[in-house]
Chain A
Amino acid sequence: MKSLMLILIVSLISFHVSSQEIDSDLLTIKERMDNVIEARAAAKLELDVDFINMPVKNFDLYFQKSKPISYSSDHFIIIPKRGLDFTWNELFKHQFMTIYRGTEIHEGSTLKVLNVIPLDKKADYAIMTLKLDTIKNQIRIADITTKNEGSYLLFLNYENDNILPSKLTVQFELERIRIPLNFMGKDTEIDKEKLKNKEIKKGIIFLYLTWQEVLTN
C-alpha cells in the first residue's frame, strides 16, 4: 500500500513538472520561428571592444532553417560567435524546461520573464533568462550563461511584429589579447605565454539587419 502511495505521489509530481516544462508563449515564438524556412539580410556590424579597432563592417547574412547562419563579404569580417543566434537554434535544439519569473517593464512594454534550464547535457548553455513580449510574440532580452564561454546579454529590436530582429545588441565577455607592443616590429619576439593571459574584458556588438528575402511556410 505504501509503495502504491509513493508511485502515485511521484506520478503526480512528474505530471505537475512536465505540464509546466515549456512556457506556452515561448512555444508560440518557436512556432513562428519554425515557419521561417530561409532568409537573407544585409548586415552592418559595429564592434565596441577596447583593444579591437575595427571599422563598421557590412556583409550579407543568410539563414536557412536548422542550419548555422552563414556570412559573406568582399572584405575581412570578424563576427562574434556568441549572441548572434537570433534564430534560437541552440535553445530549441535540446530539451529544456522553463520557470516563470514574473513580468517587468522594458521600453514601455510589459515583458514576461522566464528562466530556461536545459534538460540535455549536450546544451551549450547552463541557464538562460528570457524576456518575452507576449503581445508581439518576440524575444526581447536574453541573459545567457554558457557552460564554457562565459555569459552574454542580448537585446533584440524588431520592426513591428516581425519574428526576425532588425537590431541586436550583444554585451559579452572576452579574454584580453596580450601582444607585445610593436608586435610585428623588427626586433620583437612573440611571447605565446603572455598571449594566453586570461584577463576578462567586456565587449559590445551592434548588429543592424535589413531583411531582404524572408521565405516562410
Chain B
Amino acid sequence: MIALIQAELYLIFRQKRTYYGLAAIFIIELFIIAGSWYQGNEVISVLLENLTRSFYLEGNLLNGHLVLYLVLNSLWFNLPLIIMIIVSGFLTNDYKDRTIQTIMLQSIKKIDYILTKYVVAIVFTLLVLVFLMATASLMAYTIFGNGDLITYLNGLNFFESNQALSRIGLAFLSGTILMLFYSITSVTLAIIFKEITITWIACILFLILSNLLLKIDFGIMGDWFFPKLIDTWQYFFYYNIPWSKIYFNHIVLMAYIILFTTGGILLFIKRDIG
C-alpha cells in the first residue's frame, strides 16, 4: 500500500492541474491579504472611532496578526472549495480515464486502492495547508510586522503578540481538521457520484449548505450537526478560550471524518467498478 501511496503522490505532483490548483490558492491568498489590509483598516477605523473618544491608543493594530486572523476568516470559506475540487479529481479522473479498471486488473485490492485515495487526500490537504500558512505568514509578518491582535467576539479582545501567535497557530490546527473533513468528504462524494462535474456540483452544494445551516438554530442537536462545527477555530479568539467546547467539537468532527471515510470505503467495495 505504501508503494501505491508513493505512486499516487508522484502522479499528483506530476500533474499540471495540481499546480494550477496551488496557483489558484496562492492567487486567492494574495487577494485575501490585499482585502484583509483594506478590511483591517476599516475594522480599526470603526473600532477606534468609538474608542478614541475615551482612550489614548498607542501602538500598531494593523499588523501581521490581524491580517492572518482575517486571512483565516476568508480562507476557511474559500479554501475548502478548491481542495474539494482538486481532491475529488483524484478519483473522478480515474473513472473518467478508465485507469481504475486497469488498476483493478492488476493484483491490487479494492480496499487498498480506495484507502490510498483517502491517505493521499489527507497528505495533499496537509501539504496545501503548510504551503498556504507558510506563504501567508511570510507575507503578513514581512509586510505588516508584529503587534497586538484585536478581535471582537463576546467583547473587544486584546491579545499581546506572543498570545496572538499561539492562538493563530491553534486556530490554524483547528482549521486543518476542518479542511481534512472537507477533503475526506470530497473523496466520499467522488465515490458516490463518480462523474467529475456532478461531484463538483455535489461538493459546492455541500459547502453552501454547510455555511447556510451554520446560521440556523437546531437546539441541542446543533452541537452534533457538522455545519455547527465549521467555525470552531473562532473559539481560539475569545478572551477566555472555551476548551471543553473546542474538545467536543473536534472529537465530533473527527467522528464525522471516520464515519464518512468508512461509509465511502464500504460503498466503494460494495460497488462494481465501471
Contacts and interface: CB of A to CB of B under 8 A. Distances in A.
Interface of A: 50-55, 59, 71-73, 75-82, 149, 172, 174-175, 177, 179, 181-186, 190, 192, 195
Contacts of B152: 179, 181, 183-184
Contacts of B59: 73, 75-77
B131 interface: no
Interface in B51-84: 51, 53-61, 69-70, 73-74, 76-77
A51 B155 contact: yes
Given A177-B50, A183-B152, A76 B157 contact: no
Given A50-B155, A183-B43, A184-B69, A81 B55 contact: yes
Contacts of A59: 58
Nearest to A52: B156
Contacts of B153: 181-182
Nearest to A54: B158
A78 B50 contact: no
Contacts of A192: 46
Interface of chain A: mostly helix, strand, loop or mixed: loop
Those 8 A-B pairs whose CB atoms lie nearest each other, nearest first: A76-B59, A53-B239, A76-B148, A183-B152, A54-B158, A51-B155, A79-B56, A177-B50
A55 B189 CA distance: 46
A210 to B, nearest CB: 19
A182 B151 CA distance: 9
A152 to B, nearest CB: 10
A195 to B, nearest CB: 6
B215 to A, nearest CB: 9
B47 interface: yes
Contact of A175 (B43, B54, B56, B74): B54
A75 B162 CA distance: 11
Contacts of B159: 55
